[in-house]
Amino acid sequence: MMQRIDLRGGLPARAELLRLMPRATGDVSSATAAARELVDAVREHGAAALREQAERFDGGAPEHVRVPAAEIAAAVAGLEPSVRAALDEAIRRVRAASAAQVPSASVTTLGDGAEVHQRWQPMRRVGLYVPGGKAVYPSSVVMNVVPAQVAGVGSIALVSPPQRDHGGAVHPTILAAAGLLGVQEVYAMGGAGAVGALAYGVAEIGLEPVDLVTGPGNNFVAAAKRLVRGVVGIDSEAGASEILVIADDTADAGYVAADLISQAEHDEQAGSVLVTTSESFADAVEAAVPERTAVLGTATRLQAALDGPQSAIVLVDSLADAATVSNAYGPEHLEIQTADDDAVLADIDAAGAAFVGPHSPVSLGDYLAGSNHVLPTGGQARFGAGLSASTFLRPQQVVRYTATALAEVVPHIVALSTEEQLPAHGAAVSERTNR
């Protein structure tokens, strides 16, 4: 049974509301010490540490930490036709949607001969993390690689954990997805150690340090990203998956139950939250869960997630209150299934991605919507954004002033630099106008 949180009768103050929101008990902070040990080991001992960690956590060290090109080509050749067709279509859709995320260059003219140019430069080199623990995620290869390519990144390294069932090699479907996208630099490594390897490099296997690390992972991956931030950039500290559904009694209880279940099967720490104005609808959703979970091979895992402290049914008085609750939670995935979806959406300001209407389930976004499924978790949607082409771009301002344009502002610069007791600043411009 999912826990229930009854917020009818008036919402509490925001601080209390944040405290009441269901969250997983294990967080990034609790994994930091262990992640630091793993990152430091890779930084100091390189490939030997990666192999030791693979033996310890993945059930076997890979024969080659860097995957040979022939192995990638073989994976592409061996890809089941229906999976290849699905990946090709996903790549096409994500590439089209990502292209719309590239900002245009612009020029602001502030006076005759006074211009500030805005340009967007791609990262030189990025490292992309593709998880591979309880499931295999070729879709994450697409979601990481495509926006980086669209942004114009010239050098891409992809890492994914070695698989026990494949003799310590990266899962062949992961390799095939990389091959379809033209990525040839792939490493069999996972967890916190892989993040450390991307950040600091491992010379003996030809892995040069990257400038940015992106991609989802467990709390140890998220903790490692936190530890290397500043050495490299990161997209976010993505943790366990989560979904919040806002629904009223006009929604289909079976649809909502299926969607809550779909995200719960990612991990025992995954969060599934329903916020509804109808107690009878909440009952109907809960009643629809058992029959849908019993037939799934992931039933044990997803039931643990649904019964955990990170999942709940929240009862509220109105859809406006539901939006307030959702904004406080800041869900990775938000679904809206109500009598007036657009009115609810207008009140939403914090969500990694929003899925509007009964025929826009999160599973669509996981694979084929064209949107990106690498999204902020753990409430980070309140201040962070999902992966996009712009993640791989750095905005740069280019200043171009003529001598006349500079002369017009010299008095202002001198006045401000004098006030700030930085006379050399004023002198640097006066030097150009006193000759």
Indicate which residues carry an active-site annotation: 332-333
Strand-strand pairing, 271-276 and 114-122: unpaired
Q: Sheet holding 212-214: strands in order across?
A: 186-188, 155-160, 125-129, 212-214, 233-234
CA distance 213 to 130: 11
What is the DSSP code string of 27-94?
-TGGGHHHHHHHHHHHHHHTHHHHHHHIIIIISS--S-SBPPHHHHHHHHHTS-HHHHHHHHHHHHHH
Containing 187, the helix (H) or strand (E) segment is: strand 186-188
What is the DSSP code string of 240-284?
S-EEEEEE-TTS-HHHHHHHHHHHHTT-TT-EEEEEES-HHHHHH
CA distance 245 to 264: 13
Q: Is residue 245 exposed (0-12), middle (13-18) or buried (19+ Cβ within 10 Å)?
A: buried
Give the burial string for 73-84 (b: 16+ CB within 10 Å, else e). eebeeebeeeeb
Q: Which residue has the tokens 């904004």?
A: 327
Q: What angle do CA 363, 364, 370 make, to 5 degrees?
A: 135
42: which strand partners?
none
Which amino acid, 156?
A: I
Q: Sheet holding 393-401: strands in order across?
A: 106-111, 114-122, 393-401
Q: What angle do CA 286, 288, 291 make, to 5 degrees?
A: 125
Spell out the residues 6+ positions from residue 57 whose beta carbon is closer than 8 angstroms to its own.
161, 190, 191
* 3-state SS, residue 365: helix
CA distance 132 to 112: 57
Q: And the tokens for 177?
A: 């997805």
Q: What is the torsional sign of CA 272, 254, 139, 304?
A: positive
Q: Which residue has the tokens 């994450």?
A: 140
